[in-house]
Chain A
């Protein structure tokens, strides 16, 4: 048995034990969907970081930096700064006013059924986009790694899918959270170790490291040998539209995080708004350190491994594992790959639970059955069945797609959808008295439709014949999402929604009437 397989199996054993342990504690909806709201701030903070540092961060960013230098680091910056939007605007009101999902906050003031139906739709869309990216990463990783063990891409994707279904169906939020915590710790340890090894390669001389980054040579598309300064911006985002694309990417990153369903649901797992705030700070500390270290992962792969070798051995997404192999041999390669695998598994589980929670709580219970469970425990049962289907569908999509695009880029598209559809309605419902149901439905619909349409019309899908010149739709679709919400609101009047603004405002700002932790 190869060392990578042993490490994979080791991680799987640990996570299954966590799932078994959590399954015995899952009694009732609060426990299943929100871990009984009993996590401490640091536990949730690490779990937020774990949910966030996906295959896109570890494999994707390292790959973009390794191939296009500085421009890849822009992803790192945006993904940390994004947490200020979460911290300052969204986390605490959400914890105070919601129950299990993003749509809970909207449903307070607005007519619940249309708002929840749209909220569930956009949650499922964002989660699916995100999931595709993770599965592509998993595919690339596994097809490179386990080819000796006789495991093909398809078998591996099915394996990941089945594991994720097991975590979510049996373990619920508690198991998912602990899987995140284990994974985040491993990921940080691996990243730190890898960075130290990169520095050791340059005899711990930062100057020598950056010098090498200044002269990276590789073979370009025409087969010419070129040497470039990888610290210089503009290797990915070139004129005429590069600057706009970069701004558009930035908008999606910093406004998208606060609209990501699998991040938002994490704030329901802590006892109160204060703990939610503290968990964001914990997450920012961990995530920030991680993203600064992507400097070493990405530039290290560019200088030590080299673009040409990576391109011939698994592609951009394999930069970090290949760097590990170049620095410390096959065993370390297996260790880093196992971490990447754990990362994907954990994030996919987090995505699945937020998607299935939204379907069960928003759509099944509140849209179809007017907010009432017909039988005790029905909501949890529906969520489990949904998790099964979400898993099955994502396995199918991942097998159809195969490992090609850069996963950081794919995830950026999920951020664009979240920023365009979810963020406008969350912010407006919290801060604008006049906001109403028509505005929310209209905002969610325009944000969702415009971001999806622009992605289809963009160079990433239409290549040279692209109608929309930018890869990132955010710069157009985020304002459109806001505009849709404002116009929808102004065209209608809903005195009830305005009257209940006082209630939402009091709840959001004082925590009065907020969902309590179990056992308090």
Chain B
């Protein structure tokens, strides 16, 4: 398998000047030498979608995003639900006049930031997986 330069993009601006001059060889060009127009036509979306690594990427994303989304939605709606239906609990004072309702509302900000940070960490893993899938796809003979 041929070593690919990192971050090679399959599809630069359509219609732009090619970044690689035609070399005059016969037969198929290697993937990284294709011009933008040749390349866009050549991406077989279905073939890429069928790669095991692509499915693994989708599964990995799902494993993070679905529970994270469910969690933040449940945590968020707990606030209006409790404020609406358990007013006595929410009005309970913690220190001074500061009550459970206010502290719970304040906690939402920190929870949201935490979920965002965890996602960013997970997403850099997804980026690497996506890069690997694309590289693998480009390296395969058509």
Contacts and interface: CB of A to CB of B under 8 A. Distances in A.
A510 B132 CA distance: 10
A453 interface: no
Contacts of B105: 70, 73-74, 76-77
B139 interface: no
Given A512-B48, A513-B11, 15 more contacts: A70-B102, A80-B112, A88-B72, A89-B65, A210-B98, A243-B80, A281-B120, A288-B109, A288-B113, A503-B49, A509-B54, A512-B11, A513-B10, A513-B43, A516-B11
15 contacts: A74-B79, A81-B72, A83-B116, A210-B96, A211-B96, A229-B97, A231-B101, A233-B87, A243-B83, A280-B116, A285-B113, A509-B58, A509-B130, A513-B10, A516-B9
A80 B108 contact: yes
Contact of A81 (B76, B85, B98): B76
A281 B116 CA distance: 7
A254 B76 contact: yes
Given A232-B101, A284-B113, A510 B13 contact: no
Top 6 closest pairs, chain A to chain B, by CB: A243-B84, A214-B97, A503-B45, A502-B49, A246-B80, A233-B83
B102 A231 contact: yes
Chain B CB within 10 Å — which of A76, A247, A500 has the most?
A247
Interface residues of B, number: 54
A506 B45 CA distance: 7
Nearest to B45: A503
Given A250-B77, A505-B49, A509-B57, A237 B84 contact: yes
Contact of A250 (B68, B79, B115, B130): B79
A510 B48 CA distance: 10
Interface of A: 70, 73-74, 76-78, 80-81, 83-85, 87-89, 92, 207, 210-211, 213-214, 229, 231-234, 237, 242-244, 246-247, 249-250, 254, 274, 277-278, 280-281, 284-285, 288, 291-292, 500, 502-503, 505-507, 509-514, 516, 520
Contacts of B109: 77, 80, 288, 291-292
Contact of A502 (B45, B73, B127): B45
Nearest to A213: B97
A250 B45 contact: no
B76 A284 contact: no
A88 B130 contact: no
A84 B84 contact: no
A503 B21 CA distance: 29
Contacts of B34: none
Nearest to B58: A509
Contacts of B113: 284-285, 288
Contacts of A244: 84
A108 B68 CA distance: 27
Interface string B80-104: 1101110100110000111101100
Contact of B73 (A246, A254, A281): A254
A89 B68 CA distance: 11
Contact of A510 (B101, B112, B119, B130): B130
A76 B85 CA distance: 20
Contact of A288 (B9, B79, B91, B112): B112
Nearest to A208: B96
B4 interface: no
B80 A516 contact: no
Interface in B100-135: 101-102, 105-106, 108-109, 112-113, 115-117, 119-120, 123, 127, 130, 133-134
Nearest to A30: B13
B18 interface: no
A83 to B, nearest CB: 7
B110 to A, nearest CB: 9
A73 B73 CA distance: 18
A511 B11 CA distance: 10
A75 to B, nearest CB: 11
Given A292-B106, A516-B13, A247 B97 contact: no
Contact of A274 (B50, B106, B127, B133): B127
B40 interface: yes
Nearest to B127: A274
Given A70-B101, A89-B65, A511-B130, A242 B45 contact: no
Given A207-B96, A510-B130, A73 B102 contact: yes
A263 B113 CA distance: 19
B127 A87 contact: no
A234 B43 contact: no
B46 interface: yes
Contacts of B50: 502
Contacts of A213: 97
B32 interface: no
Contacts of A231: 97-99, 101-102
Contacts of B130: 509-511
A348 B80 CA distance: 30
